[in-house]
């Protein structure tokens, strides 16, 4: 394995803050999710689709979990239908983000400069639970930082078998393998503590919490450090 410093990043609320996203956007995403559910599952009523969308967000924390029993009940192909829902959902979310919250991708010069400043000594990967094809990669392009990432290690949930980061270390181990990264020389950067807690099971890995201006009073034992945003974290390498 290489001894280069490696950073594996999450995307949402890490490389850009959710604080720049409007409440209107979330409402539009909900409506778009319901419309997509009715397109893919025309046997559902609008009320049923809305209930299942709410369950996805509140119980499963994804865009498909509550629909799996429907897929099975109607004899649809699980992998194909889930993937279709997943990709189309995130494609619509990105379309809405660009249309209604373009400020998310404003003023990224400092972020780009921070990546540039350490580009010769750090290797970057992505491990996100969004769809990288229809959301993550377009977002990285808009932020102006896509060229800094190892193209072999830009992973969304579909590329790790829909295994979530809080459920298993498997997705992170896949990213480490693709980057040929030694955990002892790797930082995992997240805004979700449950993901960091699971990741800490990998010996040597250093877990970094991005707090977006809401610092933890006390760091959990599995978090090595916290930073307000990715720029502060990247600049710490120059200190």
Assign residue 229 the CATH number of its domain. Answer: 3.40.50.1000
Separation between Cα atoms, residue 222 and residue 196, nearest integer Å: 7
Task: Let me know whether 119 and 86 are in one domain.
Answer: no
Measuring CA to CA, which residue among 239, 173, 231 is closest to residue 202? Answer: 173
Separation between Cα atoms, residue 6 and residue 95, nearest integer Å: 31
* pTM listed for this prediction: 0.95
Domain holding 95, by residue range, is: 23-100
Task: Let me know whether 84 and 114 are in one domain.
Answer: no
Task: Let me know whether 114 and 51 are in one domain.
Answer: no
Task: Let me know whether 124 and 141 are in one domain.
Answer: yes
Please list, in sequence order, all residues whose beta carbon lies within 8 angstroms of the beta carbon of residue 229, skipping any fewer than 6 positions away: 17, 210, 212, 213
Please list, in sequence order, all residues whose beta carbon lies within 8 angstroms of the beta carbon of residue 161, skipping any fewer than 6 positions away: 170
Task: Let me know whether 93 and 157 are in one domain.
Answer: no
Task: Let me know whether 133 and 224 are in one domain.
Answer: yes
Question: Of the candidates 58, 74, 100, which is a domain's last residue?
Answer: 100
Question: Of the candidates 100, 123, 149, which is a domain's last residue?
Answer: 100
Task: Let me know whether 68 and 174 are in one domain.
Answer: no
Measuring CA to CA, which residue among 31, 66, 26, 60 is closest to residue 46? Answer: 31
* Number of C-beta neighbours around residue 181 at 10 A: 24
Measuring CA to CA, which residue among 137, 160, 157, 132 is closest to residue 148? Answer: 137
* pLDDT computed for residue 3 by the predictor: 60
Task: Let me know whether 111 and 91 are in one domain.
Answer: no
Low-confidence ranges of the chain (pLDDT < 70): 1-3, 239
CB 38 within 8 A of CB 46: yes
Compute CA 122 distance to the chain's CA centroid, rounded to the nearest angstrom.
20
Dump pLDDT digits (tens) for 192-217.
999 999 999 999 999 999 999 999 99
Q: How far apart are the first and last CA of the chain?
A: 26
Task: Let me know whether 80 and 194 are in one domain.
Answer: no
Question: Of the candidates 100, 131, 155, which is a domain's last residue?
Answer: 100
Task: Let me know whether 150 and 79 are in one domain.
Answer: no
Task: Let me know whether 201 and 94 are in one domain.
Answer: no
3-class SS of residue 160: helix
Domain count for the chain, please give it. Answer: 2
Bridge partners for 2 per DSSP = 181
Task: Let me know whether 114 and 202 are in one domain.
Answer: yes
Separation between Cα atoms, residue 124 and residue 228, nearest integer Å: 19
């Amino acid at each position: 394995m290489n001894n280069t410093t490696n950073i594996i990043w999450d995307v949402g609320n890490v490389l850009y803050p959710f604080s720049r996203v409007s409440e209107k956007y979330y409402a539009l995403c909900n409506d778009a999710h319901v419309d997509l559910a009715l397109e893919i599952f025309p046997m559902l009523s609008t009320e049923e689709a809305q209930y299942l969308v709410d369950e996805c967000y509140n119980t499963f924390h994804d865009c498909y979990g509550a629909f799996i029993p429907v897929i099975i009940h109607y004899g649809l192909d699980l992998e194909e239908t889930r993937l279709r829902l997943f990709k189309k959902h995130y494609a619509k979310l990105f379309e809405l983000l660009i249309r209604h919250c373009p400020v998310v991708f404003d003023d990224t010069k400092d972020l780009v400069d921070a990546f540039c400043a350490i580009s010769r000594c750090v290797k970057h990967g992505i491990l996100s639970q969004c769809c990288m094809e229809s959301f993550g990669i377009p977002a990285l392009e808009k932020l102006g930082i896509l060229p800094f990432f190892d193209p072999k290690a830009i992973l969304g949930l579909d590329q790790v078998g829909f295994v979530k980061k809080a459920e298993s270390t498997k997705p992170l181990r896949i990213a480490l393998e693709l980057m040929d990264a030694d955990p002892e020389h790797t930082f995992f950067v997240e805004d979700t503590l449950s993901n960091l807690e699971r990741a800490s099971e990998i010996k040597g890995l250093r877990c970094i919490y991005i707090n977006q201006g809401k610092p933890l009073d006390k760091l959990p034992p599995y978090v090595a450090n916290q930073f307000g945003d990715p720029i502060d974290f990247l600049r710490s390498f120059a200190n």
